[in-house]
Amino acid sequence: MKEFKTYQEQIELLKTRGLIIDDEQFVLEKLKEDNYYNIINGYKDLFITPGTKDNFITGTTFEEIYYLYDFDRQLKNIIFKQILKVENILRSLIAYHFSEKYGNDNYLKMDNFETLKGSNCSSKKYEERVEQIQTLLTNLQSDISKSMSKKNYIKHYILNYGFVPLWVLVNAITLGRLSQFYSLMDQSVRIKVSQHWDVKEADLNQYIKTLAFYRNLCAHDDRLYSSKCNQDIPNTNIHEKLNINVINGRYVNGKNDLFSLIIILKILLPESDFNTMCNKIDGRMRSLSQKITHISYQTIFNAMGFPDNWVKIKKA
């Protein structure tokens, strides 16, 4: 556990590590507003001299680290809005197609999900699947109970009708929960949802998981630009059209990095929304490149997983 340090002690520590601080008042204001951990610990890595733990590349300024921090904050704002658009479409489609087959109040019944009963799967896999569905149903019931005191529309349906229609409940659950719901639905329903984008239902399943991962980063104001998901997205024709390099049979960009999210948004967003988002990101990146001098533009690109020709994705 590190000891408490005053703002002035924090500034002096940064100086001993080689960080250039020309305007102490500016640094003091930013440390007060956003704190040392968020700015320095979150965004120093690209500016650290290779082979050292905390020594900054000669000439690196506090402003450069802060500009990267601020860029990431702007990036989160841009991308989060687009994730929400896709999320709303997903909520609507899942509620519609599930209710179309089973009714709008039958989402707490085990038999209305894909239990794998009667399939050729092993008994162990069947038991695991049943347990996953049971966990989902328990969590949905818990979500309803918790929402009773927080969301008037949930309370209204419980008090007046005794249940919450799925098309209402989907607005009260997290994207992570929605992802679980989708993955456990009957395959025929998953296919109907995925047909909206003309993608495979299994691919959409992974897209939703990746969306949920990055949505949480944005919502909790965690570092976005260099974060990586723990699962790869499937290969797409976008990888091929952009001629992304392949090493050991795997694309080096757009698999589990931020660019993989951009690929997903390309597939799931309306074209005009996607192109507007890309233009905003490109503008912020160009602005950042003019403010940072002690690391290359390419270094930031690599951390984000963006190929050099990434803007061509608009026409891919």
Q: What is the H or E stretch that residue 251 is in?
A: strand 250-251
Q: Would residue 137 count as lying in a domain?
A: yes
Asked if 151 and 258 sit in the same domain, the reply is yes
What is the residue-wise DSSP string for 218-266?
HHTT---TT---SSPPPP-HHHHHTT--EETTEESSSSSSHHHHHHHHH
> Which position has the token pair 């087959």?
101
Q: Which amino acid is at 53?
A: K
> Which position has the token pair 């993989």?
260
- The 8-class DSSP code of residue 57 comes to P
Asked if 55 and 95 sit in the same domain, the reply is no
The tally of CA atoms less than 13 A away on the side-chain side of residue 209 is 17
Asked if 252 and 155 sit in the same domain, the reply is yes
Residue 15's nearest CA partner among 37, 43, 40, 50 is 40
pTM of the predicted model, to two decimals?
0.95
Q: Are the C-beta atoms of 31 and 39 separated by less than 8 Å?
A: yes
- Mean pLDDT, to the nearest integer, of 87-101? 98
Q: How far apart are alpha carbons 14 and 103 in whole angstroms?
A: 61
Q: Would residue 94 count as lying in a domain?
A: yes
pLDDT digits (tens, 9 = 90+) for 20-47: 999 999 999 999 999 999 999 999 999 9
Q: Give me the pLDDT at residue 35, please.
A: 95
Asked if 118 and 246 sit in the same domain, the reply is yes
Q: Would residue 285 count as lying in a domain?
A: no
Written as six digits, the tokens of 125 are: 């896999």
Q: Is 99 helix (H, G, I), strand (E, B) or coil?
A: helix
Domain that holds residue 174: 74-280
Q: How far apart are alpha carbons 146 and 309 in whole angstroms?
A: 46
Q: How far apart are alpha carbons 281 and 287 in whole angstroms?
A: 10
Asked if 114 and 30 sit in the same domain, the reply is no
Asked if 50 and 88 sit in the same domain, the reply is no
Q: Would residue 293 count as lying in a domain?
A: no
Asked if 85 and 226 sit in the same domain, the reply is yes
* Signed CA dihedral, 56, 57, 59, 61: sign only: negative
Q: Write down the mean pLDDT value for the chain.
A: 97
Q: Would residue 305 count as lying in a domain?
A: no
pLDDT band of 2, cuts 50, 70, 90:
confident
Q: Would residue 188 count as lying in a domain?
A: yes
Question: Following CA atoms 202, 207, 213, 218 in sequence, which dihedral angle do they give, to the nearest 10 degrees?
Answer: -160
Total structural domains in the chain?
A: 2
Q: Would residue 244 count as lying in a domain?
A: yes
Q: Would residue 289 count as lying in a domain?
A: no
> Which position has the token pair 């948004």?
265
Q: Which amino acid is at 85?
A: K
pLDDT digits (tens, 9 = 90+) for 99-129: 999 998 999 999 999 998 878 888 899 999 9
Q: How far apart are alpha carbons 23 and 36 in whole angstroms?
A: 16
Asked if 132 and 258 sit in the same domain, the reply is yes
Asked if 38 and 117 sit in the same domain, the reply is no
Q: Is the pLDDT of residue 164 over 80?
A: yes
Q: How far apart are alpha carbons 14 and 28 in whole angstroms?
A: 12
Asked if 149 and 181 sit in the same domain, the reply is yes
Written as six digits, the tokens of 133 are: 């569905």
- Mean pLDDT, to the nearest integer, of 186-205? 98
pLDDT digits (tens, 9 = 90+) for 212-247: 999 999 999 999 999 999 999 999 999 999 999 999
Asked if 96 and 17 sit in the same domain, the reply is no
Percent of all residues in the chain with a pLDDT value above 70, rounded to a whole number: 100
